[in-house]
Structure 1
Amino acid sequence: MKNKYLKNSALVVLTVIGLASCRKDRVTPEVIAPYDVPTTYNFAGADYTASSQRVKMALELNSYLGTALTATITTTKANDYFNNTNSPFTDATLNASGLKLADKTADAATFTGYFTQQVANSAKNAVEATNGTAGYVIKGTSKRLVSATGLEYNQAVAKGMMGALFFKEAINILNSVSAANNTTVTNGVTAMQRSWDEAFGYLGVPTDYNPDRTYTNADAIRPLLWGGYLAERGKGIEAGKVIFNAFLKGRAAIGAKDYVVVKEQIAIIQAKWEQLVAAAALAYVTIPTNAVSVNDLPTQFHALSEGFGFVTCFKYRPSNSKLTEANFQKLSATMNTNFYTLINEAGFAKLVEAQTILKTTYGLN
């Protein structure tokens, strides 16, 4: 025992000597002071007005396109909403903001094309749709305006823009956050904090968001767009809790210059947000195959139209996405199939394949 202790002691001495000899070559790691993570997004100087205003702009655009079911709409008006020209918004602060949807939306020409299609469909809102002819589909009190292939172009815009603008912007901003300046303070925040805040704004939730609360349209301040889908399609994967808490923790970590934690929260947000996209897409490619939906064209086409939009969101997924390009192309091909063909296919083969891809890739039920 004595010899063993001496041997160990000698090793300790040698180790200490070695450490002392190279200490001068070491860089002392930065010490991160303890910091608190709040329960609300009320950080000093936080400002995400621009991103939250674009969320409100998209809602008004979507509302206008939806009126095509009962009124004739115009491409001029739709493009006014898209480009913020001619004061189209009922919220005057949006008209005066100097912001527009067009300059932040990827594949903008695709969306202006959707506007044109919805305008053309609005001229046929008194005609009953058939395969190859645009018009309305109806069952009971449920009525939807669809294209010649069954697609609701207002849903293609609404859900597609959730990907091409809000999801895409949040992912890209978070990718570049680590390179932003976190030393110089302007208007109470650093560039890194300001970028983080902007990404948070695209989530569309209140500063005191509660993932366990059931929000209604009666709530003046409520989750919007992606914020609404945190509960509507993300409840089972705890998307609201995970993403909101990661935004809180990441913002607090930036203030403390705890960049390891910042990086961790970026990974959490991006992965969970993408899984939310998948959960929404899965719901909408499943609804048309449910027995209760069979022969209910308004329900089937509405779900497929939302699914069409959510699948396009994957085009803007993070570079480390679990979804392979091959499977993305399969999903896209399925959703670009004539909806009359999809719902009449034996065993819903293409939709079942899409369900399987989404379930296995993202661990969904």
Structure 2
Amino acid sequence: MKNYIAILTISLGILLSLSACQKVEDQTYTIPTTYNFENVDYSGQTTRIKMLEALSIYAKSANTLGSNQLSSTAMINMYNNANTVFSDPALNNSSKQLKNKVHLSIQNKFENYMVAQANASLSTNQTAAANQAGIATSNDGTQSFLLNNNGVELAQIIEKGLATACFYYQSTAVYLGETKMSVDNKAVTDGKGTNMEHHWDEAFGYFGAPIDFPSNTSNVELWAKYSNKVNSILGCNSKIMNAFLKGRAAISAEDYNARDEARTTIKQEWEVILAAVAISYLNDAKKNATDFALYAHYLTEAYAFIAGLKYGASKTIPDADVDNILSNLAGSSDPLQANIYATSLQDIDNTINALANSFTSLETVKASL
């Protein structure tokens, strides 16, 4: 009898324990319609976005005939936040930088791209041509771009490359990864929330959206802007924003199943956005096949986004396959060796098909992106 009572007591204890756990998961809580939670701080992410914007503006300042030569030292200093290089004192005084948040496999290569961009800017008095760096001007004369001797717009490799290898990587693979999501969620720091809440907020910060996105799409930055580019076809703005809102509310409610569903959605949707934007730029290149300045501009953007598929959490396409896609598109997976002059319309179609074959949700809309 004593043994029976002991077993019954243990069984009741287990049932009560399971019931308590289930109660936490099934509790109801409010999911707001804007990212207006208590104790939110992603100022570090906002600072890095501003640093990239400043770096991109400078890298593109050599996009017109006769423009001044760029300094690779200045670009590398912006990348490292060194030597008071920014015009904004707040950026110079910040402890943040871009380089130390970039995926290690490509961290140092960006400095090579900056050196190459500065070298290309020695030829801003030249017209871009095969084997000749210089300025390519659109047929209507309204747009111009600095291209290297292979027709690659290195300013786009730098900008889109950092948007993927830094911001996309940090948000999906680091801040929404297991390590950052396996931290304390009890102790609240004023202005930052719990450690888990703060990590989630930092992931959101890298997306570059206002707190009332997507009803507000003015002044969107980087990834929110890229998402908005393909939103009319994919409806991705609401999907990813709702997941950010749901996950943050779930963390505060200690509903970790809902949190995990939300972060899975974010990782998957963000990767689809990346692939869709790449296809969109490939389509833009096709539409401007007789205008080499625009053709090279859009192809370089597409190339950079495709390369960025290596750095997210989902990694639908293995790295080796990404390299193959890039090589088939432009002759090399190294942007310093890629040759846009050799890229044909068939190469573009093959690339679109390769991406749509991997991201099957894009197959039926690939021509419309």
The alignment's TM-score, normalised by the length of structure 2, stands at 0.86
Aligned to 1:146: 147
CA distance in 2 between partners of 1:241 and 1:322 (Å) = 22
Give the match's secondary structure for 2:18.
Answer: coil
Give the match's secondary structure for 1:311.
Answer: helix
Aligned to 1:219: none
Return closer, same or farther for 1:19/1:322 CA change in 2, 3 Å cut-off.
Answer: farther
Aligned to 1:310: 305
Q: Does 1:96 align with 2:93?
A: yes
Q: Does 1:273 align with 2:262?
A: no
Q: Does 1:197 align with 2:198?
A: no
Deviations 1:277-314 (A, max 9, x none): 00111112222223xx1220111000011012111111
Aligned to 2:323: 329
Contact 1:327 1:357 in 2 (8 A): no
Q: Which moved more, 1:196-205 or 1:237-246?
A: 237-246
Give the match's secondary structure for 1:317.
Answer: coil
CA distance in 1 between partners of 2:216 and 2:170 (Å) = 27
Give the match's secondary structure for 2:177.
Answer: helix
Aligned to 1:39: 33
Return closer, same or farther for 1:302/1:23 CA change in 2, 3 Å cut-off.
Answer: same
CA distance in 1 between partners of 2:231 and 2:52 (Å) = 21
Per-residue deviation at 1:325? 4.3
Aligned to 1:128: 127
CA distance in 1 between partners of 2:234 and 2:354 (Å) = 17
CA distance in 2 between partners of 1:243 and 1:19 (Å) = 47
Q: What is the one-letter code of the residue matched to 2:238? A: K
CA distance in 2 between partners of 1:53 and 1:134 (Å) = 33
CA distance in 1 between partners of 2:189 and 2:351 (Å) = 48
Give the match's secondary structure for 2:228.
Answer: helix
Q: Does 1:254 align with 2:251?
A: yes
Per-residue deviation at 1:357? 1.5
Equivalences, count: 334
Aligned to 1:180: 183
The alignment's TM-score, normalised by the length of structure 1, stands at 0.87
Contact 1:68 1:121 in 2 (8 A): no
CA distance in 1 between partners of 2:132 and 2:206 (Å) = 37
RMSD: 1.9
| 1:273-312 paired onto structure 2 within 5 Å | 273-290=270-287, 293-312=288-307
Contact 1:234 1:280 in 2 (8 A): no
Contact 2:29 2:249 in 1 (8 A): yes
Give the match's secondary structure for 2:84.
Answer: coil
Per-residue deviation at 1:154? 0.3
CA distance in 2 between partners of 1:135 and 1:40 (Å) = 46
Aligned to 1:353: 350
CA distance in 1 between partners of 2:251 and 2:323 (Å) = 37
Return closer, same or farther for 1:235/1:181 CA change in 2, 3 Å cut-off.
Answer: farther
Give the match's secondary structure for 2:146.
Answer: strand
Per-residue deviation at 1:207? 1.4
Per-residue deviation at 1:23? 3.0
Contact 1:135 1:147 in 2 (8 A): yes
Aligned to 2:335: none
Contact 1:68 1:118 in 2 (8 A): no
Aligned to 1:156: 157
Aligned to 1:230: 227
Q: Which moved more, 1:254-263 or 1:134-143?
A: 134-143
CA distance in 2 between partners of 1:97 and 1:199 (Å) = 19
List runs of 5+ in structure 2 lacking aligned partners. 1-6, 333-337
Q: Does 1:83 align with 2:96?
A: no
Return closer, same or farther for 1:325/1:102 CA change in 2, 3 Å cut-off.
Answer: closer
Return closer, same or farther for 1:325/1:109 CA change in 2, 3 Å cut-off.
Answer: closer
CA distance in 2 between partners of 1:159 and 1:102 (Å) = 14
Larger radius of gyration between Structure 1 and Structure 2: 1
Aligned to 1:23: 12
Return closer, same or farther for 1:258/1:25 CA change in 2, 3 Å cut-off.
Answer: closer
CA distance in 2 between partners of 1:263 and 1:227 (Å) = 22
Per-residue deviation at 1:212? 4.3
1:73 counterpart (67, 70, 81): 70
Give the match's secondary structure for 1:136.
Answer: strand
Per-residue deviation at 1:332? 2.2
Q: Which moved more, 1:130-139 or 1:192-201?
A: 130-139
Q: What is the one-letter code of the residue matched to 1:140? A: D
Aligned to 2:166: 165
Q: Does 1:111 align with 2:105?
A: no
CA distance in 1 between partners of 2:195 and 2:355 (Å) = 37
Deviations 1:154-184 (A, max 9, x none): 0000101111100000012101343111122
Per-residue deviation at 1:97? 1.3
CA distance in 2 between partners of 1:21 and 1:148 (Å) = 76
